[in-house]
């Protein structure tokens, strides 16, 4: 990154912080609609009065700065722009925001952090400085990075942000010994899952879950911000041609990720005839490589994945250290049975002190179930570090 200025946040006033916090709240409204772009908010302030504000509402639509400048019109001259991300400096779906800010005659720009996207990467701030605008960077940087952790994970780590979800009994089982699992959690928990599905790029399951449950994996009875593709990790192309995910693949796209060897099987053509996309991927110990698959999906701009199980696939994601959040519903029931599956199979860890820990967990009741949200901070810490911050980002 071409770092232009990143003074410590001590250089900013309490009022600066207030305006940036407002811009961050605005930015968040774009969640689920702007990806693969980042969420961005902008507040324009002149003489201690907000003269314009806006946020990036949807992919392809105007950026936050443009919305705020339109609102402010002539009052933008000499104003301070609080932007949650470095203004862009390149022609993408829309013209550069740095040019618009220069033309509007703003006097000062405060950005939360630089945009690591290669086409920007410090150039937006540099262009503003060259035009004589006072530029500062770093206000609420860790908070902004936490908000855009999915975008930053994709740009800096080359993989989508991974959200796991499962429902378990109080004794940690995700199904009975016969594989029966519908329904462990109650209607409020299921509605919560539909809302998650309605804002991610893809809902992912292992072939074991498809064979046992024949799920639809669609977002139902909620406001859908984007239609998630359904993705199946299926190393041997075992998915039945009459599976729900195959039969409905022309309405809601289905992608089957298999090994490079299985991608040569004749069944591939039969799946493709039915509208299913088959991706051949590198394998690891006989299974589809989780990392290789994630890199492949990130290269399509997919930013958020919701992995819904079952236990083997969830375990494989933990073993590969690519879990960013886990949303776990615990029902007040005991399933029992030594062979009944638990949420995380895979290899697991050898010692308790090596267990994955997310620090603080968020807990709330959903009907009779308890929802626990774990946010694993390692990647977020790496990406905020890459942006030049040493402070631990706030959990969003």
Ligand X SMILES: NC(=O)c1ccc[n+]([C@@H]2O[C@H](COP(=O)([O-])OP(=O)(O)OC[C@H]3O[C@@H](n4cnc5c(N)ncnc54)[C@H](OP(=O)(O)O)[C@@H]3O)[C@@H](O)[C@H]2O)c1
Residues marked active site are found at 65
Q: How far is the CB of 107 from ligand X (least distance, A)?
A: 54
Residue 342 DSSP label: B
> What are the phi and psi torsion angles at 321 (to 5°)?
55, 45
How many Cα neighbours within 13 Å face the side chain of 381?
8
Instruction: Between 52 and 311, name the residue whose CB sits nearer to ligand X.
Output: 311
| Least distance (Å) between residue 311 CB and ligand X | 4
CB 226 within 8 A of CB 196: no
Report the half-sphere exposure of 253 (CA within 13 A, side-chain side): 9
- Closest distance to ligand X from the beta carbon of 323 (Å): 13
Are 65 and 96 within 8 A, CB to CB? Answer: no
Q: Give min distance, CB of 327 to ligand X, in A.
A: 10
| Minimal distance, residue 357 CB to ligand X, in Å | 22
Residues 6+ apart with CB under 8 A from 18: none
Q: Helix and strand tally (H, E) in the chain?
A: 13, 16
Please say which residue, 44 or 371, places its beta carbon nearer to ligand X: 371
User: Which is closer to ligand X, CB of 122 or CB of 309?
Assistant: 309
Distances (CA, A) of 243 to 122, 215, 276: 48, 8, 11
Task: For residue 211, give the nearest of 313, 288, 301 by alpha carbon.
Answer: 313
DSSP label at residue 334: -
Give the 3-state secondary structure of residue 322: coil
**Would you say 86 or 234 has its CB closer to ligand X?**
234
Of 122 and 206, which has the nearer Cβ to ligand X?
206
Sheet of strand 41-46, all strands in order from the earlier edge strand to the far edge: 49-55, 41-46, 80-83, 108-111, 134-137
**Smallest distance, ligand X to C-beta of residue 245, A:** 12
With b for 16 or more beta-carbon neighbours within 10 A and e for fewer, the 307-326 pattern comes to bbbbbbbbbbbbbbebbbbb
Q: How far is the CB of 309 from ligand X (least distance, A)?
A: 3
Strands 304-307 and 202-206: parallel
**What is the gyration radius of the CA atoms in the chain, in angstroms?**
23
31 or 212, CB closer to ligand X? 212
Residues that bind ligand X (CB under 6 A): 166-167, 174-175, 179, 181, 184, 205-209, 212-213, 233-236, 238, 287-288, 290, 308-313, 316, 341, 345
- Which residue lies nearer to ligand X by CB, 87 or 310? 310
φ and ψ of 327, to 5 deg: -110, 110
Closest C-alpha among 369, 365, 364, 360 to residue 396: 360
């Amino acid at each position: 990154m071409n770092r232009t200025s990143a003074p410590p946040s001590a250089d900013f006033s309490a009022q600066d912080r207030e305006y940036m916090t407002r811009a961050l709240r605005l930015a968040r409204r774009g969640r689920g609609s702007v990806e693969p772009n980042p969420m961005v908010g902008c507040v324009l302030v002149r003489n201690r009065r907000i003269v314009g504000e806006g946020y990036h509402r949807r992919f392809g639509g105007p950026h936050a700065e443009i919305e705020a400048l339109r609102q402010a019109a002539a009052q933008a001259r000499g104003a301070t722009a609080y932007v949650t991300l470095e203004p862009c400096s390149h022609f993408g779906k829309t013209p550069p925001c740095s040019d618009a800010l220069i033309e509007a005659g703003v006097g000062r720009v405060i950005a939360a952090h630089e945009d690591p996207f290669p086409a920007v990467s410090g150039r937006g701030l540099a262009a503003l400085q060259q035009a004589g605008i006072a530029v500062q960077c770093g206000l609420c940087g860790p908070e902004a990075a936490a908000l855009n952790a999915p975008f930053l994970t994709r740009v800096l780590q080359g993989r989508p942000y991974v959200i796991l979800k499962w429902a378990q009994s109080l004794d940690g089982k995700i199904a009975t010994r016969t594989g029966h699992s519908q329904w462990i959690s109650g209607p409020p928990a299921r509605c919560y899952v539909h809302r998650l599905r309605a804002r991610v790029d893809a809902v992912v399951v292992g072939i074991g879950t498809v064979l046992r449950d024949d799920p639809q994996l669609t977002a139902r009875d909620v406001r859908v911000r984007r239609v998630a593709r359904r993705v199946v990790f299926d190393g041997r192309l075992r998915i039945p041609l009459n599976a729900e995910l195959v039969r409905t693949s022309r309405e809601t796209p289905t992608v089957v990720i298999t090994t490079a060897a299985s991608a040569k099987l004749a069944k591939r053509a039969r799946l493709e005839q039915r509208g299913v996309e088959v991706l051949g991927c590198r394998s690891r110990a006989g299974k589809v490589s989780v990392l290789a698959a994630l890199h492949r999906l990130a290269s399509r701009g997919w930013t958020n994945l919701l992995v819904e199980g079952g236990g083997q696939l969830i375990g494989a994601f933990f073993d590969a250290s690519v879990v960013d959040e886990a949303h776990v519903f615990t029902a007040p029931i005991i399933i029992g049975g030594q062979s009944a599956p638990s949420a995380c199979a895979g290899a697991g860890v050898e010692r308790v002190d090596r267990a994955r820990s997310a620090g603080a967990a968020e807990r709330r009741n959903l009907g009779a179930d308890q929802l626990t949200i774990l946010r694993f901070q390692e990647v977020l810490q790496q990406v905020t570090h890459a942006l030049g911050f040493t402070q631990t980002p706030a959990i969003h």
